[in-house]
Chain A
Amino acid sequence: MEGLTLSEAEQKLYSELFGTCDVDHTGRVSGTRASELFLASQLPHDTLQQITELCGATRLGHFGRSQFYIALKLIAAVQNGLPVRLDSLNTGGDMPLPRFVHIKGTEQDKKRMQFANAGVSHHMSMEADHYTSPDKPHHPILERQTTHPGVLPPPPSSRGHVRSGSSGNPPHILHSRQHVVSEAASNNLPLQATATSPQDSYSSSPYNTSPPTTSPPSQRRSTDRHHSGPAATAAATAKRSLFDNRMEVQWTGQYGAAAQAAGVNTADGWVEFSSSPASQPRSLGPGPGGAPTDSEDESDPWTITQEQRDYYTAQFKTMQPDLHGLIQGTTAREFFQRSKLPIAQLSRIWDMSDVNQDGALSLEEFFAAFHLVVARRNGYDLPETLPQALMPKSTQPATEEDPFAGAPPMAGGGTPPVPATAPQTQAAPQPAPQAPPQPAPQAPPQPTPQAAPQAPPQPTQQPTQQPTGAQGGSKSADENWATFDENSSSPSPVVQSPANFDFAAVHPDPASKIIQPVPVRMSPEGQTYSDYRPRTFSEPIPTDVVNLRRERSGTSPSKHPKSGDTAEFTPGKIAPPPPSSRSKSAKSSEEEMENGVPPHKKLTQTVSDTIRMRPRLAEKLSRPRSYSGTSVGVHHPPPLAISPLAQSDSPTESQSGGKKEAPLLPPPPPRPPPRRQQTHSRSVSLDLNRVFLHRDSKGKHPAPQPLAPPPAVPPRHVSPATKGPKVVQQNSEQAMPISPTPKTTPNNVVNFITAEAAVPAEGLKHSRTMSLDSKAGSAFRTKWTFRRSVSFQPEVPLATDTPPTPPPRPHDQTRDKAEDTPVEPPTKPVKKKAPTPPPVRPRNRHRSGEDSQKSELRQEEPSTNDRRRHVSAPATRVPPIPPPPVRRKREDIQAAIRAHKERNTVLSRTNSELQGDLAEATEERVTLELQLQKLKPFGVTGL
């Protein structure tokens, strides 16, 4: 008809169909031939007749091209629930293609037919000519199909009508090949080897269909019955693709006996469908693919039945004995490649199934992957996204599942292979999880045991079928299985508790031979993937954090649960870098003193070396940068905190620690609790920037800036100037733990002075002079402090507070020796704002230098900060912002500066958060980042 408008896809499909039906190339299709095709649409007879009339074929006596097209279009319309009228033709834009059920065609053909409706123009191979027409119209079905194009159930088993999907059992992957039997076996799937003998083909055919255990006895039906007994042996001998073999074997093993006993039809819901199409018009409707209700039900082809689960679990165990473990990418790749699916599809499957994208498969993920592979193998189109049914339910690998639970019911007469294997494997798995390399707790036994055990336990037929069992079998099956055995022998050691150190885990695997493609994530975000779980599932403490802790923890292993590993790890790696840096730093320190310019470059070089040594660490260090938008280069706050490397960054640190640190390093000093810093983490970068600005303005110490990161939160409140010193303090502190001896003190002092000089404009002159003096000794310090205070006084004459400051300082120095006392002095300075910052610094310096008591100092420092605030608070003045209105312009300015800083920090934080959102990082990532940043600042500030 002229009015008929066809889409491209329709035209293509129709012309193909027409060509197929127009055997004689006369341009006409006989009514019989057309009716054959139309019947395959499964519309009722009378409807088809109506259509035939409408299209004009009845008058003509044959189908011309136009009539044929109209008929097809009408069929499509009717299938979509439209009335049988010509009006239906032009209802609208997108009419799905008509669906025809291929009854006798090869499976592939059937599939194509089924999926044609998906809108994709499949080339329909009509050669088959078999359109069995189950006369049954199933509108609901059709609709369902439209909704779930991909999901469509396996092709009609017996005559096309029968769909594997049974009410009770999801036919998910099952292909109804039963009827096709030998034909199907030979023709359909690219089996590795064609059936050598009729028996083989026979036996194979029924089982081929369902690797997944979902389709129990129903499939077996008649064919199964016959072969169930011999099937096992036959299967072993027959060459088939892995999947086919496995499935067959298992099926035979499990169900063979049961099927025989029960009688084919009786077995399940399957029976219904198995029966001839005529008897069951509605069979299609219930089919798994179509009906909405079905999809909701278990019938969803993507749901994994218990049997499948068992089987998958067994397979998983062959590669990874520990159910909580992970199958490495390479292992999985090897395994799945045996499915003979094209790499591209496997890749897609992997993308979908590796939910947390760690390059390895957990049990749940493996289920999904295997299920998808099996489904694909059986002709299902891959879904666009991972079906809900296959989504890993929990962060942790599905331990919940009882491999065995499902087995008993299904087993029926036959002894289910799964159970037998499962127990064995289970026993093995737990102990075996780990790679030998890891020194830690999990180093136990291994894979080999597993393989062995599996084979023996299996009772009758199954052993042969099972991977291990297959060994006995003939070539084809054996090969596959043999490969599996190999896998089993080399289980991936990957299994680690989430908290474990990634690196350790990765490297250790020598035995496994498996090289993880991407165990560790080098990406900018810097989160290591080694921990599989963490990524997808947000764990409270990311691996990075753990690492950091370890590194820091050096001295205080007790904090970390896995102290053993961490302690070993950290010292070993950390220790080496510091010496070099120190030596250089020590040399450079002198230069610094003179020039006031830190030996930064040298240090950086050393740092870089160290970084090279352990790239991952470096990455971690680098990560922070990426996050800090404001000052890229400058932000290394975390690194400092992290380890000696960080220290090396800051000349002062290196100097202070320099001489004595090296020897001490091996036992890393206990560092203060990392967490405190968290609150300030983000702000740190900002603070640094400010510090830099100050310095820059004075132009004296640009280089040292990178060190700045430590500026702890407390200083902000006090004043801009204080920040600088605090940073220094932190650095010194870090160094301090290493160098308990007093000798270091002078150096530290000097350094601090230099650093300070840059910060306070007023104090610059004094500080320099002082620095020289300070070299002489600690005595100078006191003087220095006095001078400073004095200097301040003139500068800020108006400030009432200033006068009191000088006196306290001397006390402070004396007190400094006593760790606690120093705290008080800072409080006083706080009141005076301007003067306070400088005094605080000296104290800290003193402490750092003096302290033999590393731990105490660290703890104290934070406490001191708090105290300062508090002290200021108790006095009527406001703790955070002491500046009263009375004070001079300067004070006002300072106050304003502080306020702005605070604002900036707040804004910066919010900004960073927003950035994180923008980055669309997963929630985990965000949390991890936050934690990391927090931790980093902590380490710095805490020190």
Chain B
Amino acid sequence: MTGQRLSKMAVCVAVISKENYPLYIQTIPTEDDLKFHYTVHTSLDVVEEKINNVGKTTNDLRELYLGLLYPTEDYKVYGYVTNTKIKFVVVVESSNTALRDNEIRTMFRKLHNAYTDMVCNPFYTPGDRITSRVFEKVVNGMMLQDS
């Protein structure tokens, strides 16, 4: 989006609740961040589809990483589903070739860890919007981390 492109890991990170409402959405500062909201929202269908498929093919029962949900011209959308059906969606720029599958996985793992830590906080009620600073820090790190 901006000149900082190269230094960005992700342009949008979203955490979607089990019921498919957003718990957390963080986008890089940009005027059209609504676009990302839309992108994430759209991706939920794909996530749903993938989840259902996974359920049928027992092989990948434990694979939380959903892989590339769908590519658009400018972005790639990756998905991840926790055991509790919390969805993580990460949007990266298609132009960012430094991000390969492994990096994405790492990001998700990190995100999942952060989420887990956040849920560990007894003052967080699962399903609430995520306001944890620690979590936010991690997400910001993912979005700004240079790779």
A residues near B, CB below 8 A?
328-330, 332-333, 336, 343-344, 346-348, 350-351, 354, 357-359, 517-518, 521-525, 529, 604-605, 608, 611, 615, 618-619, 621-622, 625-626, 629, 632-633, 915, 918-921
Contacts and interface: CB of A to CB of B under 8 A. Distances in A.
B122 A621 contact: no
Contacts of B101: 629
B64 A524 contact: yes
Contacts of A346: 123
B1 interface: no
B119 interface: yes
A361 B63 CA distance: 32
Interface in B58-80: 58-65
Top 8 closest A-B pairs, CB basis?
Answer: A329-B122, A622-B62, A359-B120, A347-B123, A333-B122, A518-B120, A357-B117, A608-B58
A523 B113 contact: yes
A517 B122 contact: yes
B108 A633 contact: no
Contacts of A359: 120-122
B133 A351 contact: yes
Contact of B61 (A348, A354, A611): A611
A629 B109 contact: no
Interface magnitude class on chain B:
35 or more
Contact of A622 (B63, B105, B122, B131): B63
16 contacts: A328-B122, A329-B121, A346-B123, A350-B123, A357-B117, A357-B120, A358-B120, A517-B122, A523-B82, A523-B109, A524-B112, A525-B112, A529-B116, A619-B83, A918-B103, A919-B109
B2 interface: no
Most chain B CB atoms below 10 A, which of A333, A350, A351, A615: A351
B110 interface: yes
A347 B106 contact: no
B97 interface: no
A344 B132 CA distance: 9
Q: Could you tell me the dominant secondary structure of chain A's interface residues? A: helix
Nearest to A331: B122
A633 B59 contact: yes
Contacts of B121: 329, 347, 350-351, 354, 359, 517
Contacts of B62: 611, 618-619, 621-622, 625
A924 to B, nearest CB: 12
B123 A522 contact: no
Nearest to B115: A523
Given A522-B83, A919-B110, A920-B110, A529 B124 contact: no
Contact of B113 (A347, A524, A604): A524
A529 B84 contact: no
Contacts of A605: 58
Contacts of A518: 116, 119-120
Contacts of B106: 915, 918-919
B102 interface: yes
A295 to B, nearest CB: 24
B113 A344 contact: no
Contacts of A622: 62-64
Given A351-B133, A622-B63, A919-B106, A517 B120 contact: yes
Nearest to B109: A524
Contacts of B65: 524, 626, 632
Contacts of B119: 517-518
Contact of B116 (A329, A523, A625, A629): A523
A351 to B, nearest CB: 5
A524 B108 contact: yes
Interface in B86-126: 101-103, 105-106, 108-110, 112-113, 115-117, 119-124, 126
Interface in B123-139: 123-124, 126, 131-134
B14 to A, nearest CB: 18
A919 B60 CA distance: 23
A522 B123 CA distance: 19
B134 A351 contact: yes
Nearest to A327: B122
Nearest to B108: A524
B58 A604 contact: yes
Contact of A633 (B60, B123, B124): B60
B123 A521 contact: no
A305 to B, nearest CB: 26
A383 to B, nearest CB: 12
Given A329-B121, A333-B122, A522 B105 contact: no
Nearest to A352: B134
B51 to A, nearest CB: 15
Contacts of A357: 117, 120
A499 B58 CA distance: 33
B128 to A, nearest CB: 9
A818 to B, nearest CB: 42
Given A348-B133, A357-B117, A615-B83, A625 B63 contact: yes
Contact of B109 (A329, A529, A604, A626): A626
B116 A332 contact: no
Contacts of B82: 522-523
Given A522-B84, A604-B58, A618-B62, A343 B105 contact: no
Given A344-B131, A525-B113, A608 B61 contact: yes
Most chain B CB atoms below 10 A, which of A330, A333, A347: A347
